[in-house]
Copies of this chain bind each other. A is one copy, B any other.
Amino acid sequence: MLGIGDDAAAWQPSRSHLSVITSDALVDGVHFDSRAMPGRAIGHRALAANLSDIAAMGARPVLATVALGIAPDTPLELVLECYRGLASLAVKFDTAIVGGDIVRAPALTFSITVVGEVARTRLRRRSGGRAGDVLAVTGALGASRAGLELLRRDLDVAADAALAARAAFATPEPRVREGGWLAASTHVHALMDCSDGLSTDVARLARASGCGATLSAVAVHPAAEAVARAAGHDPLDYALDGGEDFELIVAVAPRAFGHLRERFARRFGTPLRAVGVLEREPGLRFLDAGAQTPRALAAAGFDHLANVPG
C-alpha cells in the first residue's frame, strides 16, 4: 500500500470481495460545537459515523481519506486533538488513513471517506427486509442524546449514568465487528445503522424494503433513562428520536431470531433486542405497553435535507 505523499494512494483490494465506500461531511456549528466538545471527541465521532455506515453494509473498513478544512481562528492544538481522536479510532479498527487534503475554510470541517470490503454473500442492504421480520437493535438507545443534554446543562444525575451518557456522546463505538458477524447469517435480511434516530431510520429501512413497521419494546439505555428523567423529558423520545447512537438495526427472519440473539449476546457481551416487526402495511406505528392497537408514529429524527436551504 502506498499512502500519503503521492497524487493518490494505492492498495490491492481483496480479489474475492466487493468494495464499499461512504463519505460524510461534518461542519463546526452544524454537526458539532468545537467550543463545547473536546477535540478528541470531535475527531472520534467524525470517523465513527463513517465506520458505522461501513458496518451497516456488513463490511469491514480498510482505509480512510480525511479532507480537513481549517478556519482562520481554529487553534492548531484543537486540530491536532481532533486528528488524534480520529487516528486512535482508525487504529482500533485497522483502518489506514491514506491521504486527504488540508484547506482553509470558514469553519472547521471534516470530510471523511471510508472504503471497506465485504464478501458478496455478506453484503447487506437496508432494502432486504421482508414482512414478518423481527426488527432488532444492538445495545440500547438514547445515551448519545442524554450526553448531549449534559453538555447543554447541569443536571442532578448519578455519576455512573452521567459518565456513560457523556462517553456515548463523545466517543460512540461503531458496531464494526458486530455488523460483519450479523451479515454472516443468511437469516439477517437487512442491516442499517441508527445514526438519525430509531423512528427515522426504521421508517427508512421499512420503506426501502417495501414494508411498514410497528415498534413496540424500545431498548432505552439506562443512562438515557436517568438523564431524561432529571431533565423532565420522556426517555422514550431520546431512544426514538435522539440519534447518533450508532447502533445497528437488523431485520431478521422470525424463526431464527431467538438463536441469533443468544449467540450475539454470548459473542459480544451486548444484547440484541427485538424492538418491533416489519409488516406489509406501509407506515410507522408504535404499540404502547398494554395497548391493544398501535398508534401512528412520526419519524422525528434528524433529516439531513431539512437542514439545507432551498
Contacts and interface: CB of A to CB of B under 8 A. Distances in A.
Given A23-B65, A25-B69, A192 B7 contact: yes
A54 B6 CA distance: 10
Contact of A10 (B31, B63, B118): B118
Interface residues of A, number: 72
Nearest to A53: B7
A105 interface: yes
Given A7-B57, A13-B19, A70-B308, A2 B103 contact: no
Residue among A7, A9, A104, A310 with the most chain B CB within 10 A? A7
Contacts of A23: 65-67, 99-101, 111, 113
A304 interface: yes
A56 interface: yes
Contacts of A6: 57, 125-127, 208
A113 B9 CA distance: 12
Nearest to A127: B6
B18 A102 contact: no
Given A2-B125, A310-B70, A310-B79, A105 B9 contact: no
Contacts of A79: 310
Contacts of A19: 10-13, 19, 115
A231 B25 CA distance: 40
Interface in A242-280: none
Interface in A112-139: 113, 115-116, 118, 120, 123, 125-127
A29 interface: yes
A91 interface: no
Closest 4 CB pairs of A and B: A111-B111, A76-B310, A8-B22, A25-B67
Given A24-B67, A30-B103, A105-B107, 5 more contacts: A7-B126, A10-B123, A11-B18, A13-B19, A106-B106
14 contacts: A2-B125, A7-B193, A10-B59, A11-B18, A11-B21, A12-B18, A21-B99, A23-B100, A23-B111, A25-B101, A73-B309, A103-B308, A104-B307, A106-B107
